[in-house]
Structure 1
């Protein structure tokens, strides 16, 4: 079973477990860099929780997810269509002021991530922002039915060094918002595309 199969199979459970998590602190930090009423891509939107937050803040939101089942649930939740696309299908050219990839790109290998970051950069307007989050650590492989690649600060710095058009604005570590997983840590990154 790959990660998308997992999310299709457990879509309802995943939706219920994540739709009410409070990501406001992270979301507001990201929003502070964006133009008012700008365009945002929620890359791997899951339940649609963060898409709805952006919509309610007046942003023009495009939500996408690789799981067909999650797309259906998220579409109902946010009141608009959700694109059923995988990361490697990204094919936008300078469309978005911000791309939000919360706990989604962690299901790609480091090699795949490089290619996706290229597509993300193409999708961003000059000066556009990308937020992404990964589990903090050095594990790569399958756990709980899904592939994960974890990173530490220096790992992410090395990866982004190969993407000269993406500048790190901030990296910070947080604990998991779910009480039963508070021992887990997350690496959060905001980068800006060159331009402007």
Structure 2
């Protein structure tokens, strides 16, 4: 993750927490959780406010939450009632530890040239048949916007990235509107993939 993005979250921690913690992600939780084994182990990668971790914990899953921003990790720890690891996505060194990885709006801060290597790390972190969920901003290109680095993908670009990974297969590729009312016009592209 670009340093500029972490700096942004450090500067605007409270505001980011408040604007995202109540976002209703139920429509995306269901397709993901229907594929993850009951009471399985989930990595919430780039957990932000801890909103999704809290939901998964309350539904009986074992959750390890990680965020690159020390300030957000502290707030999320309080919110979910367990420690959130402060660490960068690029530094992940897990090996077949999770039944599911939830990367909601966190890989948007990874440069496109680095995405294949990051996805290989995530695949290594998954158990066989484990499920990966990622959401990215829909569109084309990459660059800094309002103090954060973002990448943008469409269906063809994402299929091309995943086609280069022999052991991570797309199950479902779908678009959603941003769940925050003031950002309804923003589209996201979502991927569910299985480690094979």
TM bucket normalised to smaller? over 0.9
What is the CA–CA distance in structure 1 between the aligned matches of 2:89 and 2:115, rounded to whole Å? 9
Whole-Å separation in 1 of the counterparts to 2:133 and 2:110: 16
Local SS of the residue matching 1:94: coil
Instruction: Determine if the alignment matches structure 1 residue 141 to structure 2 residue 151.
Output: no
How do 1:45-56 and structure 2 match up within 5 A?
45-56=47-58
Q: State the distance in 2 between where 1:88 and 1:115 align.
A: 9
TM-score of the superposition, structure 2-length normalised? 0.97
Query: Aligned residue for 1:19?
Result: 21
Partner Cα distance (1:186, 1:42) in 2 = 18
Cα distance in 1, alignment partners of residues 182 and 38 from structure 2: 36
Q: Can you give the 5+ residue segments of structure 2 that lack an aligned partner in the other structure?
A: none
Aligned residues: 194
Structure 1 runs, 4 residues or longer, greater than 6 Å off? none
Rounded Cα–Cα distance in structure 2 between residues aligned with 1:31 and 1:182: 24
Q: d(CA) in 1 for partners of 2:15 and 2:185?
A: 22
CA offset digits 1:26-54 (Å, max 9, x no partner): 01110000111000000000000000000
TM-score (norm 1): 0.97
Q: 1:128 aligns with which of 127, 130, 139?
A: 130
Partners of 2:74 and 2:134 in 1: CA distance: 23
| Aligned alpha-carbon RMSD (Å) | 0.7
CA displacement 1:151-174 (0-9 Å, x = unmatched) = 000000000011110000000011
CA–CA distance in structure 2, aligned partners of residues 25 and 118 of structure 1: 27
**Cα displacement string for residues 86-115 of structure 1 (whole angstroms, at most 9, x for unaligned residues):** 011101110000000000001001112111
Map 1:1-196 onto structure 2 (within 5 A): 2-194=4-196
